[in-house]
Amino acid sequence: MDRPQDGGSTSEVTVMATDAAGRTLHCVVEQSLRIQDQDYGILSPVDTPAYLCRWPDDAAAEPELIADPHQYPQVLDELDMVLRSEDLFLVRSAGLLTVAGELEYQPVDVGPDGWELPMDINDLLNRDGDTGDDAEEDDDMEEENALDTCVVLASTCHEGVDFDLYGSLEPCFLVARLGQGTAKLLEPDVLARLQPLIEEALADDGEECP
């Protein structure tokens, strides 16, 4: 982990997180937790989180969020070329895509029936643990509140299919297992299993704050 060297008062700590595929993601450690003799961190990307979407053939349909954008390397190449013309750079990082560079934000609303962004750590945890009709209703409400804080960063048409790269204007949080100078992003099944313990640790930490 790295600490700032400018001698300022900030206590910000950064770390290079990795995923199961060996990809890396430069993150800020927002909060550290001790769970069952193991250190975990709530991380936020240093660069802007980005999400790849595909437009269906139906012109009235909403864009479809692609869960694993790394399966579309040629599309990412094309989007990276578009971004570079604006002095931006697509980073194929761990956990999610990110975009490096100075962004000029132009918020757009992709509609209440579109896809959702990971808005905060509670959303991240609850999304993995919720089931049933109540969870679906909660997701719809979250989408209505959150989806107007997106920006279209780049667009391309690949083999007759339109793709957009969206950036989030809201914080995005990930959970990682911390080691000696390392951070390993948790797989979804591991995160779901640890969810109750993480929530408990977050609540205890909040109670200790003045």
The residues spanned by each domain of the chain are 14-208
Per-residue pLDDT, 202: 84
Per-residue pLDDT, 63: 84
Per-residue pLDDT, 44: 93
Q: Who wins on pLDDT, 55 or 210?
A: 55
Count Cα neighbours of 207 within 13 Å in the Cβ-side half-sphere: 6
Lowest mean pLDDT among 66-70, 85-89, 167-171: 167-171
Please say whether the beta carbons of 118 and 45 come within 8 A: no
pLDDT > 70 fraction of the chain, expressed in percent and rounded: 70
Residue 96's CB is within 10 A of a number of other CB atoms, namely: 21
Q: How far, in Å, CA of 192 to CA of 54, rounded?
A: 27
Q: What is the mean pLDDT of the chain?
A: 77
Q: pLDDT band for position 104 (50/70/90)?
A: low
Q: pLDDT band for position 113 (50/70/90)?
A: very low
**DSSP code string of 178-189:** E-SS-EEEPPHH
Instruction: Give CB contacts under 8 A, 24+ apart, made by 184-193.
Output: 184/17, 184/18, 184/19, 185/17, 185/18, 185/19, 185/20, 185/25, 185/43, 185/94, 185/95, 186/40, 187/20, 188/128, 191/124, 191/125, 191/128, 192/128, 192/129
**Exposed, middle or buried, 74 (CB in 10 Å: 0-12/13-18/19+)?**
exposed
pTM to 2 decimals?
0.70
Tell me the pLDDT tens digit for each residue of 147-182: 456 788 999 999 999 999 998 878 889 999 999 888
